[in-house]
Structure 1
Amino acid sequence: MSHLLEVNDLEVKFALRFGDITAIDGVSFSLEKGERLGLVGESGAGKSVTGFSIINLISKPGYISKGTIFFEGNEISSYSDEKMRKIRGNRISMIFQDPMMTLNPVFTIGFQMFETLQAHRKISKSDARDIALEKLKKVHIPSPEQRLSQYPHELSGGMRQRIIIAISLLTDPAIIIADEP
Structure 2
Amino acid sequence: MGEAIAWTSLGIALEETGQPEKAINAHTRARDLFQAAEDLHREAMAWDSLGATLLRTGRTEEAIDAHTRARDLHQTVGDRLSEASTWNNLGAALADMGRVEEAIEAYEKALEGYREIDKWYETGSTLSNLALAHKNAARPAEARTRYLQSADAYTRANAPTEADEAQSAADSLT
Query: Normalized against structure 2, the TM-score is what?
Result: 0.31
More strand by share: 1
Greater helix fraction, Structure 1 or Structure 2: 2
TM-score, with length taken from structure 1: 0.31
Higher relative contact order (CA 8 A, sep 6+): 1
